Chain A
Amino acid sequence: DVKVTQSSRYLVKRTGEKVFLECVQDMDHENMFWYRQDPGLGLRLIYFSYDVKMKEKGDIPEGYSVSREKKERFSLILESASTNQTSMYLCASSLGNTRTYGYTFGSGTRLTVV
């Protein structure tokens, strides 16, 4: 089975800190995605990547950046954490043909910024 591993289940950070959320997949998927999930707002796409060193902005990229130096790893960076970035963060990956296989998700990282 494809596994998508997010490095932390729970994280507490202080306002202004630089925060790194790591995501690793083990099945050679081309595509990787970062979403945040908030009550009443569903899943919102932050950034995605279709290849190594490639990134595209999603619907809510402000305050975030990403890095994809290796195919299996996609990192989400909060440059200066703020309380409104308290959320559940979900990483997902897919083969090139997303319409056939869909996504595989990680277990999520619940981030609290205090």
Chain B
Amino acid sequence: GDSVTQMEGPVTLSEEAFLTINCTYTATGYPSLFWYVQYPGEGLQLLLKATKADDKGSNKGFEATYRKETTSFHLEKGSVQVSDSAVYFCALSEGGKLIFGQGTELSVKP
């Protein structure tokens, strides 16, 4: 079946560093791809999405591009802040459901 693989965490960065969180997927069809963020003690919030190949999703300085040729949807941010510390989940659509990766914990130090 369809699946999502994320890089393992935790990822620890200094403030203003460049962030990349890798996400690759396996799918038989043409899914949409999503990034969700979970702050401590809360539910998941949609961060950005892309619905077809070569689409770029962006929000709050985060970006990800849907790469069909490499089956990837890597999350990037040019300059992270302490407030970006959270767990990030990559997901793909399969029918009416979302399939999630395991999550990557990001810790940003001042």
Contacts and interface: CB of A to CB of B under 8 A. Distances in A.
Contacts, number: 56
B46 interface: yes
Interface stretch (B12-20, B58-66, B67-75, B95-103): B95-103
Contacts of B49: 102
Interface residues of A, number: 25
Given A99-B51, A100-B32, A105 B43 contact: yes
Contacts of A102: 32, 34, 36, 46, 49, 91, 93, 98
Given A105-B45, A106-B43, A107-B43, A42 B97 contact: no
B81 to A, nearest CB: 23
Contacts of B101: 42
Interface string A26-43: 000001010000001111
Interface in A56-99: 90, 92, 94, 96, 98-99
Given A50-B96, A96-B96, A103-B98, A90 B51 contact: no
By size class, the interface of chain B is 20 to 34
Lowest 6 A-B CB distances belong to which pairs? Answer: A99-B93, A105-B43, A42-B102, A99-B32, A105-B44, A107-B43
Interface of A: 4, 6, 31, 33, 40-43, 45, 48, 50, 90, 92, 94, 96, 98-100, 102-108
Given A100-B51, A105-B45, 17 more contacts: A40-B102, A41-B102, A42-B103, A48-B96, A50-B96, A96-B96, A98-B93, A98-B98, A99-B51, A102-B32, A102-B34, A102-B46, A102-B91, A103-B44, A103-B98, A104-B46, A108-B42
